[in-house]
Each structure stands twice: as C-alpha cells, then as structure tokens.
Structure 1
Amino acid sequence: MPEKHESEKTKWIKDVEKTLKRFPERKETFHTSSEITVDYLYGTEDANYNLGYPGQYPYLRGIQPTMYRSRLWTMRQYAGFGSASETNKRFRYLLEQGQTGLSVAFDLPTQIGYDSDDVMSEGEVGKVGVAIDTLADMENLLDQIPLDKVSTSMTINAPAAILLCMYIAVGEKQGVSSEKLTGTIQNDILKEYIARGTYIFPPKPSMRLITDIFAYCQEHLPKFNTISISGYHIREAGSNAVQEAAFTIANGMAYVDAAIASGLDVDTFAPRLAFFFNAHNNFFEEIAKFRAARRIWAKIMKEHYEAKEPKSWKLRFHTQTGGSTLTAQQPDNNIVRVTMQALAAVLGGTQSLHTNSRDEALSLPTEESARIALRTQQIIAHESGVADTVDPLGGSYYVEALTDELEAKVMDYLERIKEFGGAVQAIEEGYMQREIHHNAYETQKRIESEEEIIVGLNQFKLEEEVNPDLLKVDEALEKAQINNLHKVRKKRNQEAVDQKLEALRRVAIDEEANLIPYILDAVKAYASIGEICNVLRDEFGEYTGF
C-alpha cells in the first residue's frame, strides 16, 4: 500500500509540473500573514494527528466536550457612545435583538482616569465610548438591565478597579450580591505599554492593582473574570498572528507570576483568567492560531506552573473581528470580511464574539450597522451548520500542519522573551514594540506595492463612492455631561468623599494592603473617577514611557 501511494504521489507531482509549464502560479510564493509558507498540498506526513478530544487536556479541540452543541458562544457586541443614557438605550436595543451579553466601550477620558470637566478631556467626552464620571453615570448606564441575568464585559484597563467597584455598587443597589455578578474587566495593563497607550501609572503599582483585584474577586466575585489578557490591540497595532499569540501568552505568564509573588495560589485565580484575541482575514491561519494558543496555555499552566485544577489549564477567550482590516472605501465589503473572520473564530472555538460593523472605519456604528453585525453571528450560529459538530476542521491536513507550525513559532518567541527575564522586562527593553513596528511596516509596504491585495483599497476600486449615513455624537453632549457631574458634586456628602479619598491615600502607601475595598468605599460616596485616580497619581506617579 505505501509503495502504491508513493507511486500515485510521484505521478501527481509530474502532473503538477506539466500543469505549471502551461499555467504558472499566481505568485512566486504563497504565505500566511505570519510569513508561513503555504505548500501545494498537505497530507498525513505533514502534521501530528495525536489530537486528543474536546474538553480534555491539552484542549486543542476545544475546552468543552460538546462545545456549541450544548451552548452557543456569547454574542457580546461592543457598544458605547455619548452619555450613559444613550448607551443604555443601545444596550437594551441589542438585548431585544438577541444579544446575550453586554460589552462596554468607554470614552478616552474615562480610560485614562480624567473627569469630563478636566482640561485634558476637552473635545473627547463621549466620542469613542461612553463617558463615566461617577457611580451616578454607571447607574444610568445599567438602568433596567438585570445584572443577575446579563454578563458584562468592560474594556477598561488602568482604572479597571474603579469601574469594577462601580459595577459592584450598582449590583448592590439592584439587590444583586457580588457573588452573583458575571462578566469580565479587561484589566490588561501590559498591552497598553506595548500597543495601545491608555495607561496611567508605572508598571509596579499597575501590577499591584491587578493582583489586588485577583485577590478581592477570589473572595467576593467568584464568577467574575478578573482580567482579559488582550492580544486584540497587539494585532491592531500591526503584529502578525504569531506575534499576537506569543506576546499575549507572555503577558499572561507575567500576570500569573505577579499573582503568585503576591501570595496567591495559582489554582485560586487561574480559572478566572480570560483572553481576548483578534480575528483577521487569513482564514485558516486564524483558526490554527486559536487552536495552538489553547494547547500552549494548557501546557504552560500544567507543566510550568504545576496548576492542579483542570479549570486552571483552560484558555477561555473572547474574539473581536479585525478593526484594522476594515476599509473606509466600499464599506459594505466589510460585511464580507467580518463574516469570514467571525466564522474563523467560531471554527477556532471562541467562547464569546463581537462582530464589527461595516461603517466602523468611518465612525461609531449606526443602529442598522450594529444590527447587521449581530445578525451575522446569528446566521452563522443557526443557519450555517458549523456549530453542529465539535471542531469540524480537526484533522484537516492543512489546519493541523499550520497549528503545529504556529505553535513552534510562538514557542520560539516565548523563549526569546524568557531570555529578557519575562514580558515586563521585554517591554521595558522595547523588544515587543520593535517586533510589532517592523511587521506593521512590512505589511504596509506589501499593500502599497499591491503584493497584498485589499479589495476596494488598492484593487477593484470605484471612481465614485456613495457616502453612507454615519452616526454623529452631538457636540452638546460634553456640556451636558459636565453639568451632570457638577450636579452630583453638589448633591453628594463632600465630607464623606474627602474621608474616603484620604483613607485610600493612606493605604496606597502600604504595599501590603488591598486597595479594592477602599476604592469601593470612595465610589459609593460618589467620588469621581478623576478624584480617585488623582489620589493614586499622587502616590504612584504617572508613567511617561520606557
């Protein structure tokens, strides 16, 4: 049989050679976005087929035995703009349309810990997300949304502890105890230093805030994901798939190291770690990336950290389709791109998913565009059949070979980062930043030379395009938000606010103290995000760059 197979393959290769003389290939070489060479054909000799089973270590084929046959991924559309009341209307609309979880986008001042009336906030209030100054805004944001039934993801990092405390306080006002709250805070400061830039404090106190959250949630919010270790923004900054997976996993290891160093047992916090990945256009590479990352993390947690609980080995992840892949030209083409990316995430085994809207290269999404994006997920879930069996591409010669090659390249990066002393030191040396910048530059060169085709951008262009209707944030919003903040300040008990902020200042100096209870007290007194962050700025300092 092997001899017959070999002779058949030899005959096929001769046929290929004949065909190529008549019809040369479209490109000199074919490769993925990570520069992995793609061969003509893949077969049994190209990959390891000891795949294991879904729900079993090392979870290559998924973290649950039945995956989507039992429960579909959470459809968690990212939304937030203008005021808390406006965003609340969008949230309720999306829930009515069948969305199964909330995902909050905050405006830039909120992300970097400034109040809406701060001079640093001028012109940015409510523009790229919802403005949150005090607990009153969070109450409006979550009005009539039952927190014991809806999980909420919050894309917030440097001030994550403050927004989490606001969420806890709203839950209490609804009569929902913290033990019942479900959701995720992004809380990933390392990728801010690498790729995104919405940091406030230097690395050491920033890592303290994160481990304080781990410890507090372990006792008080057992169902809440304490961090979403984010490769999404690393990819948006220009990395390739291999770099995205490698740098994200390296950051994850840094958080595990910090938590263990603070005295936490790995099995007490590891089950609540979550990840956040991007989905780009190279369909099979994205699927392989998700599968490889799952296997790598399982091995690291079991073998390197010697975690004993299977839940500690599982890489649970949210996916968002690639914002940087969207084009302002011919924006309806983005619906097709998003569909492919979402399908890759599902075939890769994601636990939750956000699909970008067609107009996001131009503005915040309109209601119609947001509905189409949600409907994309629903059609994949209920009409395509891809959710009816577990890991349907498992055993594909190409997918398994690509998964193995991606894993090997990710491990090479992890070894290099280890030589620096870990992720924090590699970031301080600028290593990850340089790697991302180099890849972004090379990608842009390929696009400009048309080696890489972007439909509607450098090929298949239209002479005249119809401008779509875009969502515009009312310029009057900033003034209204500032007026509301001033009303809260007049109404609250200022003496109580001052006492809570002074108590926070005292414990900030004590590195052994957990800051979260003190932040929660300040939040409940209606201290603003800017006031709380300014106390911490005074004690921790501000980060100005490596």
Structure 2
Amino acid sequence: MYDDADLETIQDAESEWESETLEPVVERFGERKDRFATVSNLEVDRLYTPDDVSDLDYLEDLGFPGEEPYTRGPYPTMYRGRTWTMRQFAGFGTVEETNERFHYLIDQGQTGLSTAFDMPTLMGLDSDDPMSDGEVGREGVAVDTLRDMEVLFDGIDVGEVSTSFTINPSAPVIYAMYVALADQQGVPRDQVRGTLQNDMFKEFIAQKEWVIPPEPALDLVTDVVEFSTEETPKFHPISVSGYHIREAGSTAVQELAFTLADGFGYVEDAMDRGLEVDEFAPRLSFFFNCHNSFFEEIAKFRAARRIYARVMDEWYDAERAESKRLKFHTQTAGQSLTAQQPINNVARVTVQALAGVLGGTQSLHTNSFDEALALPSEKAVRVALRTQQIIAEESGAADIVDPLGGSFAVESLTNEVEEQAMEYIKHIRDLGDGSVRDGILQGIDDGYFLREIQEASYEYQERVEREEEVVVGVNKFTIEEDTSPEILHVDEAAQETQLERLERTKAERDDAAVEAALEDLKEAIGSDENTMPAIVDAVKAYATMGEIMQVFEDHYGAYTEQIGLA
C-alpha cells in the first residue's frame, strides 16, 4: 500500500525516532520487562509501522466486508445490520430447571439458546446406567429420550428460536430428537434453525469424549451433514470447534490451524460421499475461543476468514460466496477464569468479549464470573449477558465495521497468525498424502495433536510458575480474604427425578416398536445407509439415548486411545 520511496522515508524517520527519542527514555527509565509476548507466546514488537505491512495488497488481502477474502467481515453491514446472536450456555439439573433458565434468558433479552448436557448424555449413556451414577444433571441437563426434549422446550416454539447443542459422540441422537420435536410441534423441517456441534475430530484431538473409533465416528458426522442438507437446510450440522482445543492448552495459532484443518477434513469426507461442496459448505459453522491477548485474538479471527476463503476456493473449488464465507461462534476463555477473586473474571470476560466483537463474531457466549467454582448462578448469568448488551448498545464497538482494519499492528499480527497456521495445515495435509482428512486421522493415531498441545500447555504453565505470565489474583495481586460468591447448587434429587421419568417413559412406550426401530438402525449401519432416518424413527418410538448408541458400539466396538506420550 506504500511505494518504495514512502517506505524508505518512514524507515529513516523511524531510525531517527529510535536514536533521538526512544533510546534516551529507555536508558533512563527502562521498560516493564525484557520481552513482550501474547498468551500464546507470540512475541510482539514495541511499535508497528507501514514497513511491517509493506507486502499487504489491500484488495487481495483485506478487501471490503462481505467480499472475498472476508478479512474485514463476512457481511457488508456487520453489526450495523443486526448485532451478533447473544447465546448463553444453559443446562443443569432437571429438564424442568433448564427450561426455566431458558425462559429466563429469553426474558432477559437473549437471542438464541445454547444447551449444555450432562456427562452421561454427552457420552451416549442413559441416566440409569451404572456409569452415570452421581453425574446425572451435574454439569448439564440429562436427556435420555424424546420425552425429555419435549419438557426441555415446553413453551418454546422451535420454529421461532435458534438453538445450539453442544454435544458430539451422541450428537446425531440429540439432533434426531430435535427434528422429531419439530415434527410434533408442526414446524416444517426446512424452518428448523440451530447448530449441532457434532465435531468428532476435535474430540479425538482434545476433549476426549467418544464412543466408537474415529473413522466410523466420521461416517456418522457425515450422515448428519447429508441428512440435514436435504431435510433441515437452515440448520448447521457441524460447529467445528477450536474452543476445546484451546481449553486443552493449545496456542491461538494451533487452535486456528487444527480447527480449520478439521473443517477441511469434513469437507473432503462429504465430497467423497458424493455431496457437492456448494450444497453443504454454506451451513458449516465454526466455534472459537477468545482468550486474554486482545490483539492476537482479533488477528486470529481475521486470519481465519482469509484462510478459509482461499482454501475453499483453491483446494475444493467452491464457487458460491456462502461456501467461502466463514461464520463462527465465540465463547470467552473458560481456562482463563480464576477461583481466586472471581469478580475479576467480569473484567476478563469483558475484554475477551470485546475482542470477539472487534474480530467479527456471528454469535457470542460470555462466561459467568463464578464458573471456576460451579455452574453459573442466575445473577452471574445476568451479568454475563449484560456485558454483551453493554458492548452492543453502549460502547459504539458495533457501529463501525472492522474498526481495527488497517491498524499496522493488527494487520501485521493477522499476517503472522495466518502464515503460521497455514504451515500447520499444510503439514497435516502432508501427513495424509494430500488429504487433510487422512492427515487428521493419521495425526490422531500417532499422537501428533496430543504432543503439540501438551507441549504448548506445559510451556504456558511454566511461564505462569515463573511469573513471566501474570494471572491477576493468582500469582500477583493476591489477597488472603475469602472472596467466594454464592454459587449454584444442583439438587441431589435431580438424579432421582430423572430416573423416575426414564422408568415411566420406558413403561409407557411400545416395546415392540422400539425393538423394530433398533433393528432397522442395525440394518442401516450394516448396509452402509445413512443412519439418520433410522435414528429419527427410533427416538420417535422413545428409544433411549443409551439404546441407540449401544447399537453403534455393538457394530463398531468401543474406542480406546492407544497413544503413548513419548
């Protein structure tokens, strides 16, 4: 964007500034530390000038909002058209309690629902499974059958609300229940809106929740993509989730690279299934973490859009703009929350949320200040939601599209993050001999991702221990007094309530219909058919989550990670 003569003039002026203005001050007063770096340990310069972005081509690398490569945003008006979806995560205890929280959040101005499930549901287990004892309703809501889904959305029109489901191994069953619920409510399937996480690559890489091995798990993910393309075209069948990769300890660059690689792996698998890229790619969505390093996070989001647009065009021959326009949800960093002085988390979440907005997110979850201690209380959830509303309505951040675009620092960091992320993505592609999907499967098998994240996590913790990385209230500015707030307690009776409902549902259902539906599912798996129609029929017969997932486990076997840590 600058000619050589201009750059030379700026370089000469910068050298003069350094010798005459900067050096005397540094010699006299010094600086706070010898090295300045992001949370991900990406070193940042003292000052950025046009010389740092001298190779930037405005039209090729930035362009305009709503146009390729979407660096400046996926839509031309961004938040001047409408603000991001405010989608607070909710789920605990019984479905009745979670339904009550849903209604509360809607009344408080939330514009989308986001469902948290308990561990048994996430793992495809019923509440009456011995492995579920003590975990039912603890860290999310228990959903065993369609009856639970009916109560969960009592008084909520699924044709009017967009709902996100954070679930993976058993995601197809939850999706089938939501489709069945829409059928019950008389909502046409083509009007059903929402997002299913359904990201099994991420599970094998970082979060470690699985039932069956990676390859059949991938087949099941693609079953959902194929079925939803035909039946629920407004529903996002995958939310490719870097959030959990970052929570496991990755750097921002690793989070970006591994997440985009996962997305490209799903694209390849769907195309191998025979789907046209422009049929399904517009409904793929992404889910990123937003951590403390303000400018690094903004750069990450901008780089994500640019990489995605170029790769979808050059590697997969996508033609529709919607196929190359990366859309993503953001959640503030749970890993950054502290149990010490928890009210400090309000400030952390605010900074992170603002970075997500300035980075151009399409929806946002702000963590509650008490989440390092327990599931969020009603008060804490309200503060988290109000944080978003203040940013949207009072800060002015939503009034300018990509307000940091053109910043020498932000553009330089965007280029650096993009370059490093692409090195990772190309390495993964090489692992698969030209296939990103096969590279991911190989990387899972040989422990590549585990080692990369483990090393990054260890290095970060070492910096915290050495106090090179300051965590306010933990290794600096500590106090002795008890600062714990009142926290939410899940009633132990929740498990008993859930078990009673499950027992009643099993007693009232048609056992012959359940058995027939499960047999149809077995046949679909054995004949390599898309399993989603059979799963929908099974949930309509009130087959349980555990019964359905057991069919898959019986056919494919249970997966056990075999990776060594050498």
Deviation at 1:35, TM superposition (A): 2.6
Would the aligned equivalents of 2:86 and 2:363 in 1 still touch at CA under 8 Å? yes
Deviation at 1:17, TM superposition (A): 1.2
Answer yes or no: is 1:37 the counterpart of 2:63.
no
Give me the whole-angstrom Cα distance separating, in 1, the residues matched to 2:456 and 2:525.
Answer: 40
Deviation at 1:95, TM superposition (A): 0.2
**SS of residue in 1 equivalent to 2:88:** strand
The 5 Å alignment of 1:46-125 reads 46-47=52-53, 48=56, 50=58, 51-125=62-136
The 5 Å alignment of 1:188-207 reads 188-207=199-218
Q: TM-score, normalised by structure 2?
A: 0.95
Deviation at 1:49, TM superposition (A): 5.0
Give me the whole-angstrom Cα distance separating, in 2, the residues matched to 1:5 and 1:229.
Answer: 42
User: Which amino acid letter does the alignment assign opposite residue 530 of structure 2?
Assistant: N
Would the aligned equivalents of 1:232 and 1:320 in 2 still touch at CA under 8 Å? yes
Q: Which residue of structure 1 aligns with residue 498 of structure 2?
A: 481
Match of 1:27 among 26, 29, 33: 33
**SS of residue in 1 equivalent to 2:361:** coil
**SS of residue in 2 equivalent to 1:81:** coil
Q: Which residue of structure 1 aligns with residue 530 of structure 2?
A: 514
Q: Which residue of structure 2 aligns with residue 447 of structure 1?
A: 464
Would the aligned equivalents of 1:49 and 1:395 in 2 still touch at CA under 8 Å? no
Root mean square deviation, CA, Å? 1.0
Q: Which residue of structure 1 aligns with residue 552 of structure 2?
A: 536
Q: Deviations over 1:38-83 (max 9, x none)?
A: 1111111111251210000110000001100001100000110011
Deviation at 1:36, TM superposition (A): 2.2
Give me the whole-angstrom Cα distance separating, in 2, the residues matched to 1:9 and 1:163.
Answer: 59
Q: Which residue of structure 2 aligns with residue 299 of structure 1?
A: 310
Which shifted more, 450-459 or 32-41?
Answer: 32-41
**SS of residue in 2 equivalent to 1:502:** helix
Would the aligned equivalents of 2:11 and 2:51 in 1 still touch at CA under 8 Å? no
Would the aligned equivalents of 2:353 and 2:388 in 1 still touch at CA under 8 Å? yes
Unaligned runs of 5+ in 2: 433-438
Deviation at 1:412, TM superposition (A): 0.9
Which shifted more, 21-30 or 345-354?
Answer: 21-30
Relative to structure 1, is the Cα distance of residues 315 and 528 closer, same or farther in structure 2, using a 3 angstrom cutoff? same
Match of 1:13 among 13, 18, 25: 18
Give me the whole-angstrom Cα distance separating, in 2, the residues matched to 1:177 and 1:541.
Answer: 36
Aligned-residue sequence identity (percent) comes to 55
Unaligned runs of 5+ in 1: none
**SS of residue in 2 equivalent to 1:534:** helix
Q: Which residue of structure 2 aligns with residue 471 of structure 1?
A: 488
Give me the whole-angstrom Cα distance separating, in 1, the residues matched to 2:29 and 2:41.
Answer: 24
Q: Which residue of structure 2 aligns with residue 241 of structure 1?
A: 252
Answer yes or no: is 1:321 the counterpart of 2:321.
no
Deviation at 1:466, TM superposition (A): 3.0
Give me the whole-angstrom Cα distance separating, in 2, the residues matched to 1:444 and 1:173.
Answer: 50
Match of 1:174 among 176, 182, 185: 185
The 5 Å alignment of 1:357-436 reads 357-421=368-432, 422-436=439-453
Give me the whole-angstrom Cα distance separating, in 1, the residues matched to 2:324 and 2:13.
Answer: 43
Would the aligned equivalents of 2:341 and 2:484 in 1 still touch at CA under 8 Å? no
**SS of residue in 2 equivalent to 1:16:** helix
**SS of residue in 1 equivalent to 2:471:** coil
Match of 2:287 among 265, 270, 276: 276
Would the aligned equivalents of 1:501 and 1:535 in 2 still touch at CA under 8 Å? yes
User: Which amino acid letter does the alignment assign opposite residue 112 of structure 1?
Assistant: M
Give me the whole-angstrom Cα distance separating, in 2, the residues matched to 1:502 and 1:280.
Answer: 47
Give me the whole-angstrom Cα distance separating, in 1, the residues matched to 2:480 and 2:518.
Answer: 59
User: Which amino acid letter does the alignment assign opposite residue 13 of structure 1?
Assistant: E
Which shifted more, 424-433 or 77-86?
Answer: 424-433
**SS of residue in 1 equivalent to 2:165:** strand
Deviation at 1:26, TM superposition (A): 1.4
Would the aligned equivalents of 2:288 and 2:328 in 1 still touch at CA under 8 Å? yes
Deviation at 1:10, TM superposition (A): 2.7
User: Which amino acid letter does the alignment assign opposite residue 113 of structure 1?
Assistant: G
Give me the whole-angstrom Cα distance separating, in 2, the residues matched to 1:329 and 1:34.
Answer: 23
Deviation at 1:370, TM superposition (A): 0.2
Deviation at 1:4, TM superposition (A): 5.6
Would the aligned equivalents of 1:236 and 1:323 in 2 still touch at CA under 8 Å? yes
Deviation at 1:536, TM superposition (A): 1.2
Answer yes or no: is 1:140 the counterpart of 2:156.
no
Runs (4+) of structure 1 moved beyond 6 Å? none
Q: Deviations over 1:384-406 (max 9, x none)?
A: 00100100000001000000000
Deviation at 1:194, TM superposition (A): 1.0
Give me the whole-angstrom Cα distance separating, in 2, the residues matched to 1:505 and 1:411.
Answer: 41
Which shifted more, 18-27 or 404-413?
Answer: 18-27
Answer yes or no: is 1:459 the counterpart of 2:476.
yes
Deviation at 1:6, TM superposition (A): 4.6
Q: TM-score, normalised by structure 1?
A: 0.99
Would the aligned equivalents of 1:49 and 1:400 in 2 still touch at CA under 8 Å? no
Which shifted more, 47-56 or 239-248?
Answer: 47-56
Q: Deviations over 1:113-164 (max 9, x none)?
A: 0000000101100001000000000000000011111000000111111100
**SS of residue in 2 equivalent to 1:302:** helix
**SS of residue in 1 equivalent to 2:72:** coil
Give me the whole-angstrom Cα distance separating, in 1, the residues matched to 2:316 and 2:88.
Answer: 34
Would the aligned equivalents of 2:94 and 2:498 in 1 still touch at CA under 8 Å? yes
